[in-house]
Structure 1
Amino acid sequence: MSAARAAADKLADDIVAFDVSDQLAITDTFLVCSAANDRQVRSIVDAIEERLRGLDAKPVRREGEREGRWVLLDYVDVVVHVQHAEDRVFYALERLWKDCPTITLPDDVNVGRDGDGAAGDEE
């Protein structure tokens, strides 16, 4: 998953992907990651957009960039949530989507809270 690799390259924390396709008609995957501060949130967002632009993918929607606390990038098939660590704890998206299966991320992506992580390469 290119977005997850781009986030990992900018040292995003707790990168987790959920298959939400059975729960939502608007997307297949949620990718969630966090950062220690607003500046790093923006850096991760920039890296994801740059990497996916290289694959001819542009977000159809972007929200929260001005505040830099929780930025949402909607690429239709995947929605990326980059959150400030405090907001991630407060909103607890993992708790909301706990019934959805996690998606195995590539080995070169840092591992999420559940401790999984193996090879794979989907968009």
Structure 2
Amino acid sequence: MTELSNQQTLSTPMTNIDDRSELLARLVAEAADERKGSDIVLLKVGDVTVLADYFVLVTGYSKVQVRAIARSIEDKIEETMNRKPIRSEGFSEGTWVVEDFGDVIVHVMMPQEREYYGLESFWGHAARIPVGEF
């Protein structure tokens, strides 16, 4: 499968998104962007696993930034969707924070962890959703 055929183009504004999981994933990406998270990637994994509908991957360049991004995500999702993560891990270490919202799993990682674990490669058969500019 080529990279182009593996990508999905979504140009709908967030207000027109019918899929609540996709809306949640995009709000997560927006919150990460507000805290200067970089290399934000949305993977639509629902077709290839039962773990979640979407993974959101974000890079932070310091432990403080990783934690700030994760907290910003929690705050935005609670404020806009009245939801809290089912489970969060990694806040104390600050190198890789995982937040499980059920249908969306968020990974906020330092560059070394992101490169080492290669989640984009591992889930390479999942559709990559363009996030665009916020």
TM-score by length of 1: 0.84
Q: Which residue matches 1:105? A: 131
Report the secondary structure of 1:102's partner residue: strand
Tell me which protein shows more helix as a share of its residues. Answer: 2
CA contact (8 A) 1:12 1:44 kept: yes
Give the structure with higher Rg (CA).
2
Q: Which residue matches 1:91? A: 117
* CA deviations over 1:29-50 (Å, ceiling 9, x no partner): 0000111110000000010000
- Percent of pairs with identical residues: 34
Q: Which residue matches 1:59? A: 85
Q: Which residue matches 2:50? A: 25
* CA deviations over 1:2-58 (Å, ceiling 9, x no partner): 110000000001000001002211210000011111000000001000000102011
Specify every segment of 5 or more residues in structure 1 that has no aligned partner in the other structure, as ranges: 109-123
Q: Which residue matches 1:42? A: 67
Structure 1 segments (4+ residues) deviating >6 Å:
none
Q: Which residue matches 1:3? A: 28
Q: CA deviation at 1:97?
A: 0.9
* CA deviations over 1:59-93 (Å, ceiling 9, x no partner): 00111111001000000110000001111111111
User: 2:51, 2:124 → 1: CA distance?
Assistant: 18
Q: CA deviation at 1:107?
A: 2.4
Q: CA deviation at 1:102?
A: 0.7
- Count of residue correspondences: 108
Report the secondary structure of 2:92's partner residue: coil
User: 2:131, 2:103 → 1: CA distance?
Assistant: 16
